[in-house]
């Protein structure tokens, strides 16, 4: 007799991979949406990186915000179609595997996993930009004026946050979703209110965005070169929307819920985040203030200047809440990716990493392992903050490359007439129809262009010496070589669904082939 779990597996795309249900399917529509929004995190990304964009290209750098949105929307639309068919854990890895091949799937998963762990470390460092502003007692190390006070204190605060996200994610998806949904609700309200209050205090018109203000003068690439550097600030923010699908195995009606959650997450982030950035520039008391282009000032500095009395502090607290739920979401997504690869025996210690706790129905070992690794990476920031900047930058590049390993094979399938599958339209699931091909082409072209822009060796982004300037190639090359070495020696001989996760009613589909 067919069980409810087997019916759910078939309805959720698990049957196409030969997996059985093993996670707690309890997330609703808002929780799914909140997972995508919290990973993108409007308040975390915009407040953490405003100084970089403004400092390199001035107010007009904000034109990169709609540019990045259009490119990433094309990627998101492709992901929405895939989520309507395969809303499974570790979505990018599984999509690349079933669209491409074993090696494409494994490589995308390896890049995404290592990038996600570094991203978790990078997100928690944002606490240092906000907590000491709220209360000086959060500056535990020195008074902030010492050479390593700022960086060391950032590591301490970040480690505490990682310990928190590790506990919550290990305890279960329901607790994570409850905290995440509440945090996102607060974040969205705060973000809208910040935009409204900034708009009420504007001191200049939109013409400020139509002038270079002297940025790029005297540089070889002129303002275009400065703009391309500054555009990284937007590119670093608008990704992670695939988290809604990566939690698909824990979502009710995932084939309908996940695509909508992806779209709503990227649209809300674009509109609200864009409003904050635009009105902040128009409301800033002095655009020539050097603190606007410094991490010690940035967007927080404008908020503190514009908001009256304790209001600025209240909104800084909301930013800390946003950082918290962003950390939770990044950690949760990394856990699902680890679990997804481990149940295919595609990682060392696969059986242990793929084990689901019988009571909490969540992969506990990946939660702890990722937390420990992310905390260890933080230590690099103490004496070598420039190297950490390089690492976080290349993590974003690796995520863009992992996305390309999905949109590229998907385009190939589309050109061969093998996508979209007929059951999407027949079942009323999301599909782009005739718009699929041009949108898919745009997604691939955008992915290649943005990856090159991110990786381009620039001292102003990656610093010196040469191995940092060329860090995108040096470090990504090292990470790929290390992973592919394990894959060639051991991994490729053992890939295949673990018996403990294989569907009992059927034989698992070979890697790279749908059933």
The CATH number of residue 407's host domain is 1.20.1740.10
Domain that holds residue 395: 24-490
Residue 432 DSSP SS3: coil
- Residue of 436, 405, 406, 444 lying closest to 419 (CA atoms): 436
Give the lowest-confidence range in 8-22, 133-147, 491-505: 8-22
Directed axis angle between helix 436-455 and helix 385-415, to 10°? 160
Residues 6+ apart with CB under 8 A from 410: 78, 82, 95, 99, 419, 440
Diameter over CA atoms, the chain: 75
In a domain, 511, yes or no: no
Residue 217 has pLDDT above 90, yes or no: no
Q: Mean pLDDT, to the nearest integer, of 40-44?
A: 90
Q: Is the pLDDT of residue 220 over 90?
A: no
Mean pLDDT computed over 274-297: 94
> What pLDDT is stored for residue 515 in this prediction?
35
Q: Mean pLDDT across the stretch 157-182?
A: 96
Counting every residue written for the chain, the total comes to 515
Question: How many domains does one find in the chain?
Answer: 1
Q: Of 15 and 335, which is predicted with more confidence?
A: 335
DSSP 8-state secondary structure symbol assigned to residue 17: T
Phi and psi at 18, nearest 5°, equal: 80, 25
| 113 pLDDT higher than 90 | yes
Rounded to 10 degrees, what is the CA torsion of 294, 300, 304, 305?
Answer: 50
What confidence score (pLDDT) does residue 392 get? 82
pLDDT bucket at 304, cuts 50 / 70 / 90: confident
Percent residues over pLDDT 90 in the chain: 75
In whole angstroms, give the CA distance from residue 262 to residue 274.
Answer: 18
**What pLDDT was estimated at residue 461?**
85
Output the pLDDT for position 13.
Answer: 76
User: What are 235's two structure tokens?
Assistant: 């590119």
Nearest to 130 by CA among 329, 383, 319: 319
Q: Are 361 and 23 in contact (CB under 8 A)?
A: yes
Mean pLDDT of 491-509: 76
Beta bridge partners of 27: 251
Cα(385)–Cα(379) distance, rounded to whole angstroms?
10
- Give the highest mean pLDDT range of 224-228, 378-382, 402-406: 402-406
Q: Are 382 and 151 in contact (CB under 8 A)?
A: yes
Q: In this predicted structure, which of 104-108, 157-161, 341-345, 492-496 has the lowest mean pLDDT?
A: 492-496
Q: Is residue 226 part of a domain?
A: yes
Instruction: Report yes or no: 319 and 134 within 8 Å, Cβ to Cβ.
Output: no
Mean pLDDT value of segment 274-283? 97
- The mean pLDDT value of the chain amounts to 90
Q: What is the pLDDT of residue 148?
A: 75
CA distances from 479 to 21, 166, 300, 348, 428 (A): 32, 24, 35, 15, 41
d(CA 342, CA 496): 10
Predicted confidence (pLDDT) at residue 509 exceeds the cutoff of 50: no
3-state secondary structure 397-427: HHHHHHHHHHHHHHHHHHHCCCCCCHHHHHC
Q: Which of 370, 384, 463 is nearest to 152 (CA)?
A: 384
Q: Lowest mean pLDDT: which of 68-72, 439-443, 505-509? A: 505-509
What pLDDT shows up at residue 380? 82
- Residue 447 domain-assigned (yes or no): yes
Residues 313-332, mean pLDDT to the nearest whole number: 94
Distance CA 397, CA 400 (A): 5
SS3 readout for 114-179? HHHHHHHHHHHHHHHHCHHHHCHHHCCCCCCCCCCHHHHHHHHHHHHHHHHHHHHHHHCHHHHHHH
Give the residue-averaged pLDDT of 167-174. 95
Contact residues for 110 (Cβ-Cβ < 8 A; gap 6+)? 479, 480, 483, 487
d(CA 480, CA 490): 15
Report the pLDDT averaged over residues 133-138: 91
Q: Are 277 and 62 a contacting pair, CB within 8 Å? A: yes
Residue 208 lies in a domain: yes
pLDDT for residue 295? 84
How many Cβ atoms are within 10 Å of 289's Cβ, its own excluded?
A: 14
Asked if the peptide bond before residue 206 counts as cis, ω within 30 degrees of 0, the response is no
Contacts of residue 36, defined as CB under 8 A and 6 or more positions apart, other chains included, come to 240, 241, 242, 243, 244, 261, 262, 264, 265, 266
Q: In terms of Cα–Cα distance, which of 331, 313, 249 is closest to 11?
A: 249
Identify whether 495 is part of a domain. Answer: no
386-408 pLDDT, tens digit per residue, is 777 788 889 999 999 999 999 99
Q: Kind and range of the H or E element at 1?
A: none
86-90, 356-360, 484-488, range with the lowest pLDDT: 356-360
Q: Is residue 294 part of a domain?
A: yes
Task: Please indicate, yes or no, if residue 353 is contained in any of the structural domains.
Answer: yes
All residues at 6 or more sequence positions from 224 whose CB lies less than 8 Å from its CB, including other chains: 216
Residue 4 binned pLDDT confidence (cut-offs 50, 70, 90): very low
> Could you tell me the pLDDT band of residue 413, with boundaries at 50, 70 and 90?
very high
**Domain-located, residue 203:** yes
| Residue 423 pLDDT exceeds 70 | yes
| Spatial distance between the Cα atoms of 112 and 107, rounded to a whole number of angstroms | 8
Mean pLDDT of 365-374: 97
Position 10 confidence tier, pLDDT thresholds 50, 70, 90? very low
pLDDT at 353: 95
The residues near 417 (Cβ < 8 Å, ≥ 6 apart) are none
């Amino acid at each position: 007799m067919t069980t409810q779990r087997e019916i759910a597996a078939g309805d959720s795309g698990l049957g196409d991979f030969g997996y059985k249900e093993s996670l707690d399917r309890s997330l609703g529509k808002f929780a799914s949406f909140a997972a995508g929004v919290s990973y993108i995190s409007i308040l975390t990304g915009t407040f953490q990186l405003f100084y970089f964009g403004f400092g390199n290209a001035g107010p007009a750098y904000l034109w990169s915000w709609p540019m990045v949105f259009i490119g990433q929307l094309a990627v998101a639309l492709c992901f929405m179609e895939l989520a309507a068919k395969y809303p499974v854990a570790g979505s990018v890895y599984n999509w690349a595997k079933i669209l491409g091949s074993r090696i494409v799937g494994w490589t995308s998963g390896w890049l995404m996993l290592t990038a996600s762990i570094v991203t978790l470390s990078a997100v928690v460092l944002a606490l240092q930009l906000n907590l000491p502003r709220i209360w000086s007692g959060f500056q535990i190390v020195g008074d902030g004026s010492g050479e390593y006070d700022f960086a060391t204190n950032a590591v301490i605060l970040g480690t505490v946050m990682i310990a928190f996200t590790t506990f919550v994610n290990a305890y279960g998806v329901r607790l994570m979703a409850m905290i995440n949904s509440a945090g996102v609700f607060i974040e969205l309200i705060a973000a809208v209110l910040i935009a409204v209050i900034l708009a009420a205090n504007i001191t200049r018109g939109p013409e400020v965005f139509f002038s270079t203000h002297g940025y790029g003068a005297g540089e070889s690439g002129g303002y275009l070169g400065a703009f391309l550097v500054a555009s990284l600030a937007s590119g670093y923010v608008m990704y992670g929307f695939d988290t809604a699908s990566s939690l698909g195995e824990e979502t009710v009606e995932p084939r309908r819920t996940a695509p909508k959650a992806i779209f709503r997450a990227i649209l809300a982030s674009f509109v609200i985040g864009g409003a904050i950035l635009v009105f902040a520039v128009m409301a800033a008391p002095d655009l020539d203030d050097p603190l606007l282009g410094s991490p010690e000032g940035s967007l927080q500095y404008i908020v503190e200047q514009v908001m009256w009395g304790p209001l600025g502090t209240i909104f800084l607290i909301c930013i800390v809440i946003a950082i918290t739920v962003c950390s939770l979401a990044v950690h949760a997504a990394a856990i699902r990716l680890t679990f997804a690869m481990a149940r295919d025996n595609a990682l060392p210690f696969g059986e242990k990493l793929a084990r689901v706790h019988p009571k909490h129905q969540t992969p506990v070992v990946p939660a702890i392992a990722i937390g420990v690794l992310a905390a260890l990476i933080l230590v690099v920031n103490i004496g070598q903050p420039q190297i950490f900047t390089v690492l976080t930058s290349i993590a974003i590049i690796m995520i863009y490359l992992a996305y390309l390993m999905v949109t590229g094979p998907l385009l190939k399938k589309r050109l061969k007439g093998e996508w979209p599958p007929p059951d999407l339209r027949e079942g009323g699931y999301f599909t782009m129809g005739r718009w699929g091909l041009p949108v898919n082409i745009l997604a691939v072209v955008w992915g290649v262009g943005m990856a090159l822009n991110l990786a381009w060796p620039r001292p102003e982004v990656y610093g010196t010496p040469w191995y940092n300037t060329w860090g995108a190639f040096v470090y990504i090359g090292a990470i790929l070589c290390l992973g592919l070495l394990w894959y060639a020696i051991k991994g490729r001989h053992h890939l295949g669904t673990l018996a403990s996760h294989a569907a009992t009613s059927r034989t698992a589909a070979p890697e790279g082939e749908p059933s």
